Amino acid sequence: MHVACVNQDRGIGRDARKGAAVHVAAMREAFALCGARVTALDEKDGPALAQVLERAHAAHGIDLVYERYALGCDTASRFAQETGVPLVLEVNAPLLEEERRYRGLVDDAELAEVERAVFARARRVLAVSTLVAGYVRAAGVPARRVLVRPNAVDTQRFRPRRPGESVLLAVPKDDFVLGFHGRLRPWHGFPLLVEAAARLLARGAPVRLLLVGDGDFEVALEGRLPAERVTRVGWTPHEQLGPLVARFDVLPLGYPPDAPCWFSPLKLLEAMAAGVVPVVPALGDLPRVVRHERNGLLYAPGDLDALVAALFDLYVRPARRAGLAAAARRTARRRSWTALAREVLALGSALPEPAS
């Protein structure tokens, strides 16, 4: 099968240091691993993209268009409609709603019309969360054509450390490591994690924060934790992240109660695949991935006492921590990018025309 993988989002270049770029690259690699011929298209100009699609279709015959939805971009969906090639559309956020809420968009009638048309042309829409799926359905897409498929994980890159395997940094083996990886954003609730670490230290737990990625961590850290209890690692290429994440004991997520619930964090399954116990707020779709006391722990969003209690219990009960880590790993192994790509390819070979 020949798959045209289209990304017209101007903020997501092939070398962009963000999770969205990881997502785009991961799906393309996964399609190829499943045996598909992949044409990767990151052309941002609509007319130029149309020409490339037409040439590729004439030369090799495109069997499926897989597109990451970008606001106001309808070239790939028009091509699919005109040629009869199935379109599977990946929607990662309520983009028009974000423009209204965060960027002050007022005159959005044209963008809304384009969005509805793009959604309508897709044979299937893959939404990363139930909230995004609801947003797509509200735009007029029948529920039967909308599938909730959260972000997946590279289970070869993210895996538990093997005995004797070298680590990229020296962390005392007896430290209780709370990890963070990625680009720090305001909605990550990092100050909550810092305060939890401070309280755990006060209770005698040898806590270490291992911070891997970009962000102004110092603002939240200032004066709250001894410097020797924090290990900073700057931005790290995604292909080198696995051993660092595998050094975490726990991945505590601090999303506050008002955090946008449409997300599907890459960092969650990456840590779970590496055998790290997730401790996450019961928010959005997180409880669909993390089952309380089965493959991780849940706590009420913003509840510092509950977060500290959960983390301290994992520290004093290493056998329980090991059991949850193994279950987390099993969960993640079922949700690989390759499994998702295989499902999409199967869809592409059996999709009917969208009903009007």
| 71-77-79-84 Cα dihedral, nearest 10 degrees | 180
Q: How far apart, in whole angstroms, are the C-alpha atoms of residue 206 and residue 310?
A: 15
| 38 within some domain | yes
The predicted structure's pLDDT at residue 106: 55
Rounded to two decimals, the pTM is 0.92
* 106 and 23 fall within a common domain: yes
Same domain, yes or no: 180 and 120: no
List the one residue out of 243, 182, 265, 191 whose CA is nearest residue 222.
Answer: 191
Q: Same domain for 342 and 327?
A: no
Domain count, the chain: 2
Residue 290 has a pLDDT of: 98
State whether 241 and 301 are in the same domain: yes
Answer whether 324's CB lies under 8 Å from 13's CB.
no
What was the pLDDT predicted at 348? 79
Within this chain, do residues 27 and 44 fall inside the same structural domain, yes or no? yes
pLDDT given for residue 11 in this prediction: 86
Cα Rg of the chain, angstroms: 21
| CA 111 to the chain's CA centroid | 25
CATH code, domain carrying 108: 3.40.50.2000
| Domain co-membership, 238 together with 141 | no
Is residue 158 assigned to a domain? no
Q: What is the pLDDT of residue 167?
A: 59
Render pLDDT for 62-121 as a digit per residue (tens, 0 to 9).
999 999 999 999 999 999 999 999 999 999 999 988 887 766 665 678 899 999 999 999
Model pLDDT, residue 173: 85
Range of the structural domain that residue 64 is part of:
2-152+336-348
- 47 belongs to a structural domain: yes
Q: Are residues 80 and 211 in the same domain?
A: no
* Residues of the chain falling short of pLDDT 50: 356
